[in-house]
Amino acid sequence: MSTENKVGLYIHVPFCAKKCPYCDFYSVSFGKKIARLYTDAVIRNIKSDRGSAEIDTIYFGGGTPSLLPVEYISDILKTITENFTVHDAEITIEINPKTVSPEKLLQLYNIGVNRLSIGVQSCVDNELKALGRIHSFNDAKNTVLSAYKAGFRNISCDLMVGIIGQTMDSLSYSINQLCEMPINHVSAYILKIEDNTDFNKQEIINSLPDEDLVSDMYLLMIEMLEKKGFAQYEISNFSKKGFESKHNLKYWKCLEYIGIGPSAHSYFNGKRTAVPDSLEDFIKYDRQIEIVTEENSTSFEEMAMLRLRLKEGLCLSDFKEHSERVISKATPLEKAGLVKINNDTIVLTPKGFLISNAIIAELIL
Amino acid sequence: MSIDKIRNFSIIAHIDHGKSTLADRILEKTYTVADRDMEEQLLDNMDIERERGITIKARAVRLTYKAEDGETYIFNLIDTPGHVDFNYEVSRSLAACEGAILVVDATQGIEAQTLANTYLALEHDLAIVPVVNKIDLPSADPEKVCSEVESVIGIDAMDAPKISAKLGTNIEAVLERIVKDIPAPTGDENAPLQALIFDSYYDSYKGVIIYIRVKEGKVRIGDEIRLIATGAEYTVVETGYLDATSFNNVGELKAGEVGYIAAAIKDISETRVGDTVTLVDNPCEKALPGYRRVNPMVFSGIYPADGAKYGDLREALEKLQLNDASLSFEPETSVALGFGFRCGFLGLLHMEIIQERIEREYNLDIITTAPSVIYKITLTNGETVYIDNPTNYPDAGSIMSAEEPMVKAEILTPSDYVGNIMELCQERRGIFKDMVYLDETRVSMRYELPLNEIVYDFFDALKSRTKGYASFDYEMLGYAQSKLVKLDILLNGDIVDALSFIVHSDNSYARARKIVEKLKESIPRQMFEIPIQAAIGGKIIARETVKAMRKDVLAKCYGGDITRKKKLLEKQKEGKKRMRKLGTVEVPQEAFMSVLKLD
């Protein structure tokens, strides 16, 4: 069976030690008792009948999944292997520096977790402070090194662009520092101020680096990471060869994934569904509530929107009836250096990725 | 009810002098409206009227009043618009009346427009009842205002009721004056029917409703009527009057009365305001004198934002024209905007009102091009052409001479602002004529101004430079030679025909600079850099650049949640609807209006 038919499993762990002021994802504060109730609910949901899908990626996202005690994670993983066919899976957990000890990392490795995504964000302490993070760069560095020591050979770090006080120099410092560590993947996000966050205040917005600077930083980052062997494979994702996140690629390639936990999303059997943002409900009900957000999710618009985020681009040979229109719209964009057209494949350039919302709208609407 | 107990009247007032408030008080005092139904300014039943505090369309309401003499009278209150653009409508409302209440603000005195409407009323031989309003304000000077009315209009105003419409003070005195000073209508109910159409509108259930003033004879349900000008014939389905809240289908209207007819009229073009209604089997000998036809002075293109709505726009314009005969339109096409209409208006306010009514009452998104006046061009081959659309302006090489319409403007202002007004009029190429002190503080200034200079934002500019105190009125003066040029706007190197306009050559550089700046503000950053240029005959005289957007990206897609991206895509779809794509450039609808507001 090819990977194309295998399913990803996403577990949303909605606990945080402290809410980051820029984050609008669902989380509540951590407590051991509630975490146990949550874990039992996850286990119940895994056991409930979903057919006998073959799973090849498991991803613990959050929140801060690394807050969960290892035995809970182990219980969940065990239940997954008992209820699904799991073979040679990529098993990722998001880690926040300072929430895990070297021992815990070793335990995680021993129960079968084989990939870590570590929320480093920046290698400059002032920038970490500005983001309201609880860790220092030294904490992050120690976490990465301990993980490597524990045996992890597939480590990703998050990097943030557009932080208050960030400059071209400080960004290139962060990139150099990151790349000196034993990692194979970088997820690089541009800070975006979301409506329902503490950062959505005029004084914060005014002190952010301006559009031109952020754009220059993004382009610099691509250039530097590529030089250091981290190839861009998606707008925000870079990796050494063979270390692309199998799980995240499912999102862009419209492959199936099942989400478990409050605010988790699924794309399964052609339907897109979402679980409401309520830990209470998730614990209360035998089976999580799933709201259908898209009944039949195979439109060209959706596929194109997601594919264009990938460096491999949108191959129009699968969409013959749209091909001519899209190519004619892409042609002036190619002249402006925003896309490349290779036969019937359209690929955004780094400059194009920066304005991908506008380009995607132009090409597919 | 005998004809001598009927009083038909209008209220004349300057904007803000309290006409609608007085109408409300009269409605209250005549117990026409129960308190719970009383909505502020009941007569103004269009949203725009209420928001702008002005009256656009004439309305007629029947009230009953028990006077001090013990008799019960019927009042027909016919509303009139106050603004200079709507002289025509005032005129047709007045033709249905025997008298008019002249409301003057006790703090401001008589204003130019009030004067113009009062003269209109006198032309129609109406009895004028002066009323001094706002006596509750500390700065009120009713005695002074009364003597001003006497000296300016020449009517006796010493015993004019001094009222506060806001507080309801002394309203009874006004009602008594209506009974005593306004003559009852005359007419013979047994004569052949002769009724004046003074307004009409389209009702989706009843068809066209016409408002009439019966001059002679009577009309009943079942009567076969003929509209003399168009020859159209219908059977009356309903006839009666309006009170403040509803239609009253009483089945008959007689000489002297004001009311409505519904006759299942579907073709709106057959009912003309100013036309005469008579009976098919007993027609009157001749039509009533119609209204003087007003000629539109300002023209602009109106286009549907969504090209598929062209038919809807036509229908909306037809329906608006039904009760606003001063609106004219004919189809035109624009390279940039597609199919639309060239519309003629009485003035800039009239234009704005029509735009708003199309958008609100007919729920259509429209794009309006810069207003133009009618230029008279003599070509080198001796031919004379009239141009109301800049797109059709001839090449400079084939023009022998160009003329533009001029107006005679009168500005009434407190003397403090004379300097500001002179400056403004100079900027607008005005020629100073004379200046008269009406009293120690009030000045009347006369200028000759090119109409072209006042159709943009003259009124706004005047208001802002006089803290709203000055008022302004104008009449056409004819054509004068002028040095005119056509200014073209280029986006990304292509001329946008809908943005071209005619300007005096001395002002062309300054105007061009301002327009490209305004356009730069209103056109959002796009994927490419967009040069905005202004050119005269191929020569670029101003340029701005909209820089290319650099960053517009959703970096995160967490846990497979793509709903944010979908929402964004939906938002972009909506956004695109508000944009016009000109070549590769997306231009928001507002950009087409930005050339209007330059002060």
Nearest to B150 by CA among B128, B178, B125: B128
pLDDT of residue B410: 84
Chain A to chain B Cβ contacts (< 8 Å): 106
Task: Name the percent of chain A lying above pLDDT 90.
Answer: 82
pLDDT of residue B112: 65
CB-based contact B433:B448 (threshold 8 Å): yes
Residue B138, phi then psi, degrees to nearest 5: -60, -35
Q: Which residue has the higher pLDDT, B76 or B114?
A: B76
Output the six-digit token pair for B281. Answer: 């089997």
Q: What is the pLDDT of residues A97-140, one digit of tens each?
A: 988 999 999 999 999 999 999 999 999 999 999 999 989 999 99
Confidence of residue B83 (pLDDT cuts 50, 70, 90): very low
Asked whether the predicted pLDDT for residue B460 surpasses 80, the reply is no
Domain A3-252 has CATH 3.40.50.11900: no
Closest residue on chain A to B547 (Cα): A212
CB-based contact A279:A305 (threshold 8 Å): no
Average pLDDT, chain A: 93
Asked whether the predicted pLDDT for residue B488 surpasses 50, the reply is yes
pLDDT of residue B342: 93
Q: What is the pLDDT of residues A80-89, one digit of tens each?
A: 999 999 989 9
Q: What is the pLDDT of residues A208-219, one digit of tens each?
A: 999 999 999 999
Quote the DSSP letter at residue B373: -
The yes-or-no answer to whether A3-252 and A300-364 have a common fold is no
CA dihedral B18, B24, B29, B34 (to 10 degrees): -160
Is there a contact between A355 and B549 if contact means CB atoms under 8 Å apart?
yes
- Chain-centre distance of CA B15, in angstroms? 13
Is there a contact between A192 and B562 if contact means CB atoms under 8 Å apart?
no
Asked whether the predicted pLDDT for residue B551 surpasses 80, the reply is yes
pLDDT of residue B564: 82
CB-based contact B240:B260 (threshold 8 Å): yes
Q: Which residue has the higher pLDDT, A145 or A318?
A: A145
Q: What is the pLDDT of residues B132-151, one digit of tens each?
A: 999 998 888 999 889 888 88
Confidence of residue A360 (pLDDT cuts 50, 70, 90): very high
Distances (CA, A) of A331 to A334, A337, B499: 5, 10, 28
- Angstrom distance (rounded) from CA A24 to CA B8: 67
State the angle between helix axes of A320-335 and A356-364 in degrees (0 to 180), rounded to the nearest 10: 140
Asked whether the predicted pLDDT for residue B223 surpasses 80, the reply is yes
CB-based contact B318:B268 (threshold 8 Å): yes
pLDDT of residue B47: 53
Residue type, B218: K
Is there a contact between A354 and B552 if contact means CB atoms under 8 Å apart?
yes
pLDDT of residue B501: 87
pLDDT of residue B567: 86
pLDDT of residue B152: 78
**Which residues in chain B have their CB less than 8 angstroms from residue A267's CB?**
560
Sheet holding B328-334, edge to edge: B328-334, B338-345, B298-304, B366-368
Beta bridge partners of B263: none
- Angstrom distance (rounded) from CA A174 to CA B52: 58
Confidence of residue A297 (pLDDT cuts 50, 70, 90): low
Is there a contact between B559 and A259 if contact means CB atoms under 8 Å apart?
yes
Residues of B with CB under 8 A from a CB of A: 526-528, 548-563, 565-566, 568-569, 572-573, 576, 584
Asked whether the predicted pLDDT for residue B370 surpasses 90, the reply is no
Residues 6+ apart with CB under 8 A from A3: A56, A246, A255
| Lowest-confidence region among A41-55, B163-177, B390-404, B467-481 | B467-481
- Angstrom distance (rounded) from CA B45 to CA B20: 11
Is there a contact between B562 and A25 if contact means CB atoms under 8 Å apart?
no
Residue type, B549: M
pLDDT of residue A2: 45
Average pLDDT, chain B: 84
Output the six-digit token pair for A335. Answer: 């002249």
- Angstrom distance (rounded) from CA B283 to CA B305: 47
pLDDT of residue B275: 85
What's chain B's length in residues? 599
A300-364: CATH number: 1.10.10.920
Nearest to A343 by CA among A356, A359, A330: A330
CA terminus-to-terminus distance, chain A: 36
Confidence of residue B438 (pLDDT cuts 50, 70, 90): confident
Output the six-digit token pair for B145. Answer: 């205002």
Q: Which residue has the higher pLDDT, B114 or B35?
A: B114
Q: Which residue has the higher pLDDT, B292 or B353?
A: B353
Kindly report the number of other CB atoms within 10 A of residue B78's CB atom. Answer: 25
Residue ranges of domains in chain A: 3-252, 300-364
Q: What is the pLDDT of residues B331-363, one digit of tens each?
A: 999 888 889 999 998 777 778 888 888 988 899
Closest residue on chain B to A248 (Cα): B560
Residue found under tokens 């001796």: B382
Quote the DSSP letter at residue B598: -
Counts of helices then strands in chain A (DSSP H, E): 14, 17
Confidence of residue B22 (pLDDT cuts 50, 70, 90): confident
Nearest to A24 by CA among A193, A237, A175, A156: A193
State the angle between helix axes of B563-577 and A356-364 in degrees (0 to 180), rounded to the nearest 10: 70
- Angstrom distance (rounded) from CA B51 to CA B53: 5
Beta bridge partners of A12: A61
- Angstrom distance (rounded) from CA A162 to CA A261: 30
Strand segments, DSSP code E, in B290-440 are: 298-304, 328-334, 338-345, 366-368, 375-379, 384-387, 399-414, 431-437
Helix (H) or strand (E) holding A167: none
Is there a contact between B560 and A305 if contact means CB atoms under 8 Å apart?
no
CA terminus-to-terminus distance, chain B: 57
Residues 6+ apart with CB under 8 A from A9: A55, A57, A58, A59, A80, A84, A257, A258, A260
CB-based contact A21:A266 (threshold 8 Å): no
Task: Name the percent of chain B lying above pLDDT 90.
Answer: 39
pLDDT of residue B589: 76
| Lowest-confidence region among A8-22, B127-141, B280-294, B338-352 | B280-294
Asked whether the predicted pLDDT for residue B212 surpasses 70, the reply is yes
Nearest to B25 by CA among B117, B131, B120: B131
- Angstrom distance (rounded) from CA B371 to CA B297: 10
- Angstrom distance (rounded) from CA B396 to CA A356: 46
Confidence of residue B294 (pLDDT cuts 50, 70, 90): low
- Angstrom distance (rounded) from CA A239 to CA A184: 6
Calculate how close chain A gets to B577, using CA atoms only, in Å. 11
Question: For an interface test with A, which of B527, B546, B549, B579 has the most A Cβ atoms less than 10 Å from its Cβ?
Answer: B527
Quote the DSSP letter at residue A53: P
